[in-house]
Amino acid sequence: MTYIGIQHPDHFHGLPVHTAAVSVPLPAADTVAWRLECAYDERTDFADLWQQFLDTVDTSRVRALLIGPWWREEYSPFEPVRDLIVADADRFPALRGLFLADVVGEECEVSWLRMCDITPVLQALPLLEEFTVRGCGQQGLGLRPVRHAALKSLRFESGGLPGDLVRAVAASELPALERLDLWFGSSWYGADATVDDVRPILSGGTFPRLRHLGLQNSELQDEIAAAVSSAPVVAQLETLALSMGTLSDTGGEALLIGQPLNHLGTLDLRHHFLTGPVLDRIRIACAPAVVEADEAEDDYWDEDEDEDPERYVAVSE
């Protein structure tokens, strides 16, 4: 089975990721995506690390930035880091890609990341084109409806995405948005969004330039599949991701009786609970679109049992 959960990217915004360190020769500011982190064995606070970065790198040429672990010992709130980014936004006129909380499980579980309202970041960076955020609603992750004319890619990686954040995305004015990914997560970790929360997005009128939609990692994956099967937005998409969630034959049948999906380049169904025959029918119905799916998911079925297996999302805690 292909692992598609929380990982460090080796590239971001089309650039190789480079973890900033003032003690080594530095690459040209505009040739890498800079990753800032408080290393476990160092004593530097994030505020000091941030200032070192500003003093050492020509931030006027920085095109992409990732924020890794921002604490030294005890997990700490993200709000002070957000405030530093907002206060120094004018030092980053070329910044087009930003990843908040590029943190993996070995550093901190996604449900433990102490996030905050990230709306001020979008407001402070009106030229930002790619924005990725990792975290859960139980730990303060929030967003208010916002207008942003330049944003092309918006991605929330969460084990518990709050419904009010999903509604804020749907209520935002993002005329340039081409890619949207929402990882809903588990109700155990604050996921309380419903299919109704995404219906404005599914209508097709909210983001007219949208070409990729990911509604993923959901305990409601069957309901989402049923809504997508008749959603007007599908006609404008080039790729669709319904992966990482609890998709079963119920959702698979909804896709099969719904609108054609063969205009897509790819349909991502990885981490699913479909039976082999239904998955085969989906592949045939969607051709020539490529259906990405783990064949090994059949391991979750016990041929000697009549009951369905316990289903779960790929990323929760």
**DSSP SS3 for 155:** strand
Q: Which helix (H) or strand (E) holds 78?
A: none
Q: Which helix (H) or strand (E) holds 170?
A: helix 163-171
Q: Do 15 and 64 contact (CB within 8 A), yes or no?
A: yes
Question: What's the pTM?
Answer: 0.93
Q: How confident is the model at residue 44 (pLDDT cuts 50, 70, 90)?
A: confident
For residues 254-269, give the mean pLDDT. Answer: 97
Q: How confident is the model at residue 151 (pLDDT cuts 50, 70, 90)?
A: very high
Closest CA to 316 of 214, 249, 248, 246: 246
Cα dist from 273 to 60, 187, 244, 282, whole Å:
48, 19, 10, 13
Lowest mean pLDDT among 134-143, 149-158, 276-285: 134-143
Question: 41 vs 140, which has greater pLDDT?
Answer: 140
- The reply to whether omega before 288 is within 30° of 0 (cis) is yes
Question: 241 vs 317, which has greater pLDDT?
Answer: 241
Residues 203-220 pLDDT 10s: 998 999 999 999 999 999
Question: Which pLDDT does position 267 carry in this prediction?
Answer: 98
CA distance 227 to 87: 41
Residue 154 pairs in a beta bridge with: 131, 180
* Confidence check: pLDDT of 22 > 70: no
Percentage of the chain beyond pLDDT 70 is: 92
Residue 130 pairs in a beta bridge with: 97, 153
Strands (E), 40-174: 64-67, 97-100, 130-134, 153-157
Structure tokens at 21: 């360190």
Cα dist from 208 to 63, 96, 197, whole Å:
26, 21, 18
Cα-Cα end-to-end distance for the chain: 20
Question: Which pLDDT does position 138 carry in this prediction?
Answer: 77
